[in-house]
Amino acid sequence: MLVVMQEGAEESQIQKVIDRLVAMGFIVHRSSGVMHTVLGGVGPVGDVDPAEFEVMEGVKECHRIVSPYKLASRSFKPGGTVVKIRDVEIGGERVVMMAGPCSVESRDQIEQIAAAVARDGARVIRGGAFKPRSSPYSFQGLGEEGLRMLREAADRNGLLVVSEVMDQTQIPVLAEYADILQVGARNMQNFNLLRELGQVRKPILLKRGISATVEELLLSAEYILSGGNYEVILCERGIRTFENSTRNTMDISAIPVVKSLSHLPIVADPSHGTGRRDKVLPMARAAVAAGADGLLVEVHQDPDHALSDGAQSLRLQQFTELMEQLRIIAKAVGRSV
Amino acid sequence: MLVVMQEGAEESQIQKVIDRLVAMGFIVHRSSGVMHTVLGGVGPVGDVDPAEFEVMEGVKECHRIVSPYKLASRSFKPGGTVVKIRDVEIGGERVVMMAGPCSVESRDQIEQIAAAVARDGARVIRGGAFKPRSSPYSFQGLGEEGLRMLREAADRNGLLVVSEVMDQTQIPVLAEYADILQVGARNMQNFNLLRELGQVRKPILLKRGISATVEELLLSAEYILSGGNYEVILCERGIRTFENSTRNTMDISAIPVVKSLSHLPIVADPSHGTGRRDKVLPMARAAVAAGADGLLVEVHQDPDHALSDGAQSLRLQQFTELMEQLRIIAKAVGRSV
Amino acid sequence: MLVVMQEGAEESQIQKVIDRLVAMGFIVHRSSGVMHTVLGGVGPVGDVDPAEFEVMEGVKECHRIVSPYKLASRSFKPGGTVVKIRDVEIGGERVVMMAGPCSVESRDQIEQIAAAVARDGARVIRGGAFKPRSSPYSFQGLGEEGLRMLREAADRNGLLVVSEVMDQTQIPVLAEYADILQVGARNMQNFNLLRELGQVRKPILLKRGISATVEELLLSAEYILSGGNYEVILCERGIRTFENSTRNTMDISAIPVVKSLSHLPIVADPSHGTGRRDKVLPMARAAVAAGADGLLVEVHQDPDHALSDGAQSLRLQQFTELMEQLRIIAKAVGRSV
Amino acid sequence: MLVVMQEGAEESQIQKVIDRLVAMGFIVHRSSGVMHTVLGGVGPVGDVDPAEFEVMEGVKECHRIVSPYKLASRSFKPGGTVVKIRDVEIGGERVVMMAGPCSVESRDQIEQIAAAVARDGARVIRGGAFKPRSSPYSFQGLGEEGLRMLREAADRNGLLVVSEVMDQTQIPVLAEYADILQVGARNMQNFNLLRELGQVRKPILLKRGISATVEELLLSAEYILSGGNYEVILCERGIRTFENSTRNTMDISAIPVVKSLSHLPIVADPSHGTGRRDKVLPMARAAVAAGADGLLVEVHQDPDHALSDGAQSLRLQQFTELMEQLRIIAKAVGRSV
């Protein structure tokens, strides 16, 4: 904790800050400059809010110098984490493609899509069974029956399964059918859910909230890691900005930023990141070019009649085309698809 | 649904859009201008995503003309909703003050604060028992024991209780102790929770998410209303923007905007809206001047030693001062405090 | 400048940072904690970009501890600046109302408005003669002829004149007719213009850009102050956010924030801040309740036929109503209107 | 213009809207649905603000259906514009690299950089002579002398020159030395400057403002095009968001969005888009993968001693590495570098 005092701060004000730092367990180092006195507090970890000091009299500003996350930081595991599930490695040399429909709709649908994306080189099938929808009047998913269909289609086609867990009560059923449990953007700070997922023995795919900073994403990962589950995959899927020509603004730069700050693998979801099918290919290519460890892409055999998110789902032949482009791009960053 | 075709859209493209609208249950009205053909679809309610049409060939843009919310809209109840709990009316002539600490910390603490804020004219005491914290290493609340302390302090001082419910499993315990169940900003789109709260017979205080539009806030209210619980109080508490001299940017204009769009009462939380004690008074005054039906304010008898959110908690005598200022301002908008 | 080294930074990396700080003229103070080495550089003013150090090897983060502005900071003039023009004091006890049309359209129009707002208690008339418009096909203003009409109407009604200067070539003509020269939001970082305005002997009303932080606003004020013109009035008029129910999001909290950081007076423009007439009154009240030193409000005798910004202009009787409300609210903050 | 009336709007309110549309020159088409009456106005081009109708009584919402820009729209020139300068084509098959220092600092510096980037395949050298700086205390550029050095270094190495024009008074000197005149992000809505550039016979590189939507960028291009200068190159360089781990958030999706909406070429500036050298390569690759027609990259022979923007300047050998990566990526999108 670095506390910078205002010019002309009184000695009694400085002393109060020192006393408070000491009371919190910090060892304080005082440094007096020409204009400002700076107090450096070295000490207890944890989440001391800098605003606690900024509202004290005579204080100009306060900075936290220890990252609020530890287990998620790059320095904890400089070589990087590879999440290995059977023969699939996320965070390794190969860019891992996860593809499938927004919602599982029927046995036929999911089988058709699974076969197609497996043939093109995807390693994981995605599909929602419990759908969080912003309107109470929309399709809410097939539930466990949908998960069963998803699992069977995956097994027939040699794929892994990723599917979303909406709250902690759903963990058991998801853990039964899925290989990777996805936490949606709206749940990124559902701390009760995160805490429970720390106890689970399955990898977690944690999506960035639309208004979450990268630091907050890593702090949410820390919740899971601190519970003992070290297999966390991060996912960039667009943030909310003033620009409205796309549904969200995909923050491609978050990919290299995460790579510097953390050892965890990061994938990108260009479908939610753009909301429109015609923007998915360019953004998928951009994510891989920027260093993403994988992609999560919505694909549907008949998007015009999809029960949810049809507008952002690729047609099957668009996915084929995407894979061809990615095979070239991956080489530029020393990888394969 | 209004679909605007591109200049020079082909007849076959127009026909495809018409066919799709009809298949969805819309009655279509076609209007051909000099440059653009416009298709107006009148029909089924529900949440059809305009992007579904925008990705079709020949389409320029698409607008939803029916609000995605109905029960929450002003036209559903033009006179406005007053949530009445015993003798307290939220949305009525009087601006309702809800005050108390971030977290219940001890019997002494909560009693001291309750007595003070009741004396100054508050009608509701706030206090958290289950704390969602962004760091896994922070204080997580006293749980049910805290709720019991809060209830007792409220009863001794003639106050109502508002407290936060973090997920659906906590509804029963909250419903036992609190008069108003609060949904925090991070849970504004926890649709499972919202759906369950629609079944509850207690008023709900629904906080706006930090990246939620007013429309999304109203859509979340719709979830609760559509379950049969009509007693929803909205709360503005700051949105995330690029400005970082305050923790969030309090969107005071959301107050008059909600008043035009919805019949539901709206209160403001200047403590979370600013994150800093020294900015709470000006923003509390601004919210009442803009027409807020009440305020939710953090007050602590000893903020320097608060276990959470001390930096944004008012001291007791600051709350007294605030009440005096608000008594004047309320008159300017034809109300009392 | 505070440079925080990464955990485990090598001695050679630390030395490089020290060498660079010294080369830049800083006196360096080294402080070694358990985990981090912190280097405090005390020294030359000016605008050293912290990123210069953040890209060096072994550096974790870097903070500037001297504000990049000096003349604009509160500590430069703790008592606050009052800009006095004849008998009008901006920044004094009285909240100063500046009102008038977006554009000067005709002699009749401006006379009618000037008479009305003067009668209600406004002290300054506003009106544009050179209009920066986002479309090349829109009305561009009456030019000098408009300024002459504005001056005459002001003089007949005992008002001061504020009008916008779009670039440095217009300074002489504006200085001839106006008492206060306004810099529009889009020009807030037109540094050539700001530098020239530092040479002018007229007060400047500097509007915050829609994506400018408060710090950047103060840095732009510094440009003018550093040229020798100490009469700068700041103006909050809305920032760009994701919310689109109002044209911009008026950042009311910027008012108390500026009051803490700077000695300069600050006014608010609820017309541009909201873009809609029906939101102007609530936001005008909110701004005064939050401590604004004045308001800049668009008023038109016939907004339905205004040549620009009609949608956000108050009708004359709305302005009368606003003044009555503000007379009450001003008392709550120890002021008058 | 599409005006949607509220449910239950009165006939007199509808009539008032119709009258106003007709008075503005629109031909009105009325369409009455079960719930809403919709008025479609076909007519005059120009920039009618939808808010003008939204504040009328009985109006629910209003949409503009004709883009406010025409000459910049894709439909104006479906095949796309190629800006050809000598043998360099921007918007053609080849991705055009523009590289150089932030500021021209000396003859030696610019010669060394020009030679290096030309050898690696750049076609255009960039460099600033007049520097708009956010602090009045920073280096402000070498002026015309800098332009002369830039021109000479370019000519010796077979490069074109792009350099920034800060205001209209600088147009003649820039036009003398540069092949492409750059409009900086802060000047994107300096309409007087844009209007003058419409008269110039040199291509203009127009940077997107940090808070400008894509629509506003195209409207600014329209200003130049409507003056008769058809050679406009757009540039994405990052927008301001809440995320602060990079200086701006580079909106890579703006590249495919512009490609759909407009015929103008678009390049990307990953140096300003990220503000940090270590993020430039990933974002440069991403931009080309997303379909950018070129890149504008800051390169410096000794970034640690650069007089401006050193933190975001690539070292010479990083630029070489980037070119190698881009040669691979360009193939994936059917192009070369």
Find chain A residues with C-beta within 8 A of B219's C-beta.
Answer: 134-135
Find chain B residues with C-beta within 8 A of A226's C-beta.
Answer: 136-137
Q: Across the A/C interface, how many CB contacts are shorter than 8 Å?
A: 57
Nearest to B55 among A167, A187, A311 (CB): A311
Q: Of the spans B55-59, B68-72, B186-190, D56-60, which averages the highest pLDDT?
A: B186-190
Tell me if B126 sits within 8 A of B328, measured CB to CB: no
Which residue type does D72 have?
A
Chain B contact present for D6, CB below 8 A = yes
Rounded to 5 degrees, φ, ψ at B173 are: -70, -40
Which tokens is A163 given?
């599917």
Find chain B residues with C-beta within 8 A of D241's C-beta.
Answer: 242
Percent of chain B with pLDDT over 70: 94
What confidence tens digit (pLDDT) does each residue in C143-195 have? 899 999 999 999 999 999 999 999 888 999 999 999 999 999 999 999 889 99
Taking every pair of Cα atoms in chain C, the longest distance, rounded to a whole number of angstroms, is: 76
Nearest to B290 among C245, C255, C285 (CB): C285
- E runs forming strands in C135-293: 160-164, 180-183, 204-207, 232-236, 266-268
Chain B contact present for D33, CB below 8 A = yes
Q: Residue B135: what pLDDT?
A: 62
8 Å CB contact of A245 and D214: yes
What would the mean pLDDT of B109-121 be, rounded to a whole number? Answer: 97
Tell me if B84 sits within 8 A of B94, measured CB to CB: no
Distance from CA of C183 to the nearest CA of B (A): 21
Distance from CA of C320 to the nearest CA of B (A): 14
Q: Is D202 left (phi over 0), alpha (psi -120 to 50) or beta?
A: beta
Q: Residue D29: what pLDDT?
A: 76
Inform me whether the pLDDT recorded for C319 exceeds 60. yes
Find chain C residues with C-beta within 8 A of D312's C-beta.
Answer: 51
Name A261's Cβ contacts closer than 8 Å, sequence gap at least 6: A67, A73, A74, A214, A218, D245
Distance from CA of A137 to the nearest CA of B (A): 6
8 Å CB contact of D135 and C68: yes
Chain A contact present for C21, CB below 8 A = no
Pick the closest to residue A330 from A62, A96, A136, A140 (CA basis): A96
8 Å CB contact of D251 and A256: no
Q: How far is CA A167 from CA A78, A130, D288, in A?
A: 32, 10, 40
Find chain A residues with C-beta within 8 A of C68's C-beta.
Answer: none
- Measured CA angle at C49 (ends C44, C53), to 5 deg: 95
pTM: 0.89
Tally Cβ neighbours within 10 Å of residue C14: 18
Q: Residue A189: what pLDDT?
A: 92
First to last CA, chain A: 44
Compute the mean pLDDT over every residue in chain A, rounded to the nearest whole number.
Answer: 91
CA D237 to chain centre: 8
Find chain A residues with C-beta within 8 A of C261's C-beta.
Answer: none
8 Å CB contact of D245 and A215: yes
8 Å CB contact of C46 and D168: no
Q: Which pLDDT band holds residue A306 (cuts at 50, 70, 90)?
A: confident
- What is the rounded CA–CA span in Å between residue B219 and residue B202? 19
What confidence tens digit (pLDDT) does each residue in A118-127 have? 999 999 999 9
Distance from CA of A56 to the nearest CA of C (A): 13
What confidence tens digit (pLDDT) does each residue in D251-295 have? 999 999 999 999 999 999 999 988 888 999 999 999 999 999 999
Tell me if D279 sits within 8 A of A257, measured CB to CB: yes
Q: How far is CA A63 from CA A51, C323, D275, in A?
A: 9, 44, 21
What residue of B is the nearest CA neighbor of D55?
Answer: B260
- What is the rounded CA–CA span in Å between residue B297 and residue B299? 6
What ipTM was assigned to the predicted interfaces of this complex? Answer: 0.89
Q: Residue D37: what pLDDT?
A: 80
What confidence tens digit (pLDDT) does each residue in C103-148 have? 999 999 999 999 999 999 999 999 999 876 656 666 678 889 999 9
Domains and CATH numbers, chain C: 2-63 (3.30.70.1140), 74-332 (3.20.20.70)
Name D289's Cβ contacts closer than 8 Å, sequence gap at least 6: A282, A285, A286, A288, A289, A329, D329, D332, D333
> What residues form DSSP beta bridges with C98?
C124, C296
8 Å CB contact of D250 and A245: no
Chain C contact present for A7, CB below 8 A = yes
Name A155's Cβ contacts closer than 8 Å, sequence gap at least 6: none
Inform me whether the pLDDT recorded for A43 exceeds 70. no
Inform me whether the pLDDT recorded for A45 exceeds 60. no
Q: Which helix (H) or strand (E) holds D31?
A: strand D27-32
What residue of D is the nearest CA neighbor of C198?
Answer: D136
Find chain B residues with C-beta within 8 A of C209's C-beta.
Answer: none
> What residues form DSSP beta bridges with B32?
B37
Tell me if B71 sits within 8 A of B60, measured CB to CB: no
Q: Residue C138: what pLDDT?
A: 66
- What is the rounded CA–CA span in Å between residue A144 and residue A150? 10
Name B256's Cβ contacts closer than 8 Å, sequence gap at least 6: B290, B291, C278, C279, C282, C283
Q: Which pLDDT band holds residue A135 (cuts at 50, 70, 90)?
A: low
Q: Which pLDDT band holds residue A136 (cuts at 50, 70, 90)?
A: low
Find chain B residues with C-beta within 8 A of D40's C-beta.
Answer: 31, 33, 38
What residue of B is the nearest CA neighbor of C279?
Answer: B256
Q: Which pLDDT band holds residue D116 (cuts at 50, 70, 90)?
A: very high
Inform me whether the pLDDT recorded for D134 exceeds 90. no
Distance from CA of C242 to the nearest CA of A (A): 4
- What is the rounded CA–CA span in Å between residue C249 and residue B251? 7
In the stretch 39-78 of chain B, residues with CB closer than 8 A to chain D read 40, 42, 60-61, 63, 65-66, 75
Compute the mean pLDDT over every residue in chain C, rounded to the nearest whole number.
Answer: 91
- What is the rounded CA–CA span in Å between residue D24 and residue D44? 8
Inform me whether the pLDDT recorded for C50 exceeds 60. yes
DSSP SS3 for D18 = helix
Inform me whether the pLDDT recorded for D299 exceeds 80. yes
DSSP SS3 for D128 = strand
- What is the rounded CA–CA span in Å between residue C41 and residue D183? 36
- What is the rounded CA–CA span in Å between residue B291 and residue B287? 6
Q: Residue C63: what pLDDT?
A: 81
Distance from CA of D41 to the nearest CA of A (A): 24
Inform me whether the pLDDT recorded for A255 exceeds 90. yes
Residue of B42, B54, B56 to mutate when probing chain D, most D C-beta within 10 A: B42
Q: Which pLDDT band holds residue D179 (cuts at 50, 70, 90)?
A: very high
Inform me whether the pLDDT recorded for D39 exceeds 90. no
Give the neighbours of chain B: at least 3 Cβ pairs within 8 Å: A, C, D
Q: Which pLDDT band holds residue D7 (cuts at 50, 70, 90)?
A: confident
Distance from CA of D67 to the nearest CA of C (A): 11
A184-188, B43-47, B330-334, D32-36, range with the lowest pLDDT: B43-47
DSSP SS3 for D320 = helix
8 Å CB contact of C257 and B246: yes
- What is the rounded CA–CA span in Å between residue B224 and residue B204? 9
Inform me whether the pLDDT recorded for B219 exceeds 60. yes
Find chain C residues with C-beta within 8 A of B261's C-beta.
Answer: 245
Percent of chain C with pLDDT over 90: 67
Inform me whether the pLDDT recorded for D165 exceeds 90. yes
Inform me whether the pLDDT recorded for C68 exceeds 90. no
Chain A contact present for D334, CB below 8 A = no
Mode of pairing for the β-strands spanning A83-85 and A88-90: antiparallel
Q: Which pLDDT band holds residue B201 (cuts at 50, 70, 90)?
A: very high
What residue of B is the nearest CA neighbor of C331?
Answer: B328
What residue of C is the nearest CA neighbor of D137?
Answer: C46
What would the mean pLDDT of A256-274 be, rounded to a whole number? Answer: 95
Q: Residue D279: what pLDDT?
A: 94
Give the neighbours of chain A: at least 3 Cβ pairs within 8 Å: B, C, D
What would the mean pLDDT of A289-299 be, rounded to a whole number? Answer: 98
- E runs forming strands in chain A: 2-5, 27-32, 37-42, 59-63, 83-85, 88-90, 96-100, 124-126, 160-164, 180-183, 204-207, 232-236, 266-268, 294-298
Distance from CA of B67 to the nearest CA of A (A): 11
In the stretch 82-111 of chain B, residues with CB closer than 8 A to chain A read none
Q: Which pLDDT band holds residue D162 (cuts at 50, 70, 90)?
A: very high
Pick the closest to residue D93 from D84, D102, D104 (CA basis): D84
Per-residue HEC secondary structure of D261-276 comes to HECCCEEECHHHHHCC
Inform me whether the pLDDT recorded for C336 exceeds 80. yes
Distance from CA of D331 to the nearest CA of C (A): 31
Find chain C residues with C-beta within 8 A of D194's C-beta.
Answer: 136
Q: Residue C35: what pLDDT?
A: 66
Tell me if A212 sits within 8 A of C212, measured CB to CB: no
Find chain D residues with C-beta within 8 A of A331's C-beta.
Answer: 328
Tally Cβ neighbours within 10 Å of residue B337: 23
What confidence tens digit (pLDDT) does each residue in A158-212 have? 999 999 999 888 999 999 999 999 999 999 999 889 999 999 999 999 999 999 9
Contacts 24+ apart (CB under 8 A), C149-154: C149/C104, C149/C106, C149/C107, C149/C110, C150/C100, C150/C104, C150/C110, C150/C125, C150/C177, C150/C178, C151/C177, C151/C178, C152/C107, C152/C111, C153/C107, C153/C110, C153/C111, C153/C113, C153/C114, C153/C115, C153/C125, C154/C114, C154/C125
In the stretch 116-175 of chain D, residues with CB closer than 8 A to chain C read 132-138, 166-169
In the stretch 189-248 of chain A, residues with CB closer than 8 A to chain D read 211, 213-215, 239, 241-246
Q: Which pLDDT band holds residue D330 (cuts at 50, 70, 90)?
A: very high
Distance from CA of B229 to the nearest CA of D (A): 24
Percent of chain A with pLDDT over 90: 67
What would the mean pLDDT of D126-135 be, rounded to a whole number? Answer: 78
Q: Residue D168: what pLDDT?
A: 87
Distance from CA of A96 to the nearest CA of C (A): 30
Q: Residue B150: what pLDDT?
A: 97
Chain C contact present for B257, CB below 8 A = yes
- What is the rounded CA–CA span in Å between residue A266 and residue D240? 23
What confidence tens digit (pLDDT) does each residue in C246-281 have? 889 999 999 999 999 999 999 999 999 888 889 999
Inform me whether the pLDDT recorded for D180 exceeds 80. yes
Q: Residue A182: what pLDDT?
A: 98
Q: How far is CA B67 from CA B45, B74, C122, in A?
A: 9, 11, 40
What would the mean pLDDT of D302-323 be, rounded to a whole number? Answer: 90
Per-residue HEC secondary structure of chain B comes to CEEEECCCCCHHHHHHHHHHHHHCCCEEEEEECCCCEEEEEECCCCCCCCHHHHCCCCEEEEECCCCCCCCCEHHHCCCCCCEEECCEEECCCECEEEEECCECCCHHHHHHHHHHHHHHCCCEEECECCCCCCCCCCCCCCCHHHHHHHHHHHHHCCCEEEEECCCHHHHHHHHHHCCEEEECHHHCCCHHHHHHHCCCCCCEEEECCCCCCHHHHHHHHHHHHHCCCCCEEEEECCECCCCCCCCCECCCCHHHHHHHHECCCEEECHHHHHCCHHHHHHHHHHHHHCCCCEEEEEECCCHHHCCCCHHHCECHHHHHHHHHHHHHHHHHCCCEC
Find chain B residues with C-beta within 8 A of A274's C-beta.
Answer: none
Buried b (16+ CB within 10 A) or exposed e, C243-268: bebbbbbbbbbbbbbbbebbbbbbbb
Question: How deeply is D34 buried, as exposed, middle or buried, from its count of CB atoms within 10 A (0-12, 13-18, 19+)?
Answer: exposed
- What is the rounded CA–CA span in Å between residue A27 and residue A12? 19
What would the mean pLDDT of B229-239 be, rounded to a whole number? Answer: 97
8 Å CB contact of A191 and B132: yes
Inform me whether the pLDDT recorded for C43 exceeds 70. no
Question: How deeply is C87 buried, as exposed, middle or buried, from its count of CB atoms within 10 A (0-12, 13-18, 19+)?
Answer: exposed
Which tokens is D131 given?
């520097």
Q: Residue D130: what pLDDT?
A: 87
Find chain A residues with C-beta within 8 A of C78's C-beta.
Answer: none
Taking only Cα atoms into account, the Rg of chain A, rounded to an integer number of angstroms, comes to 23
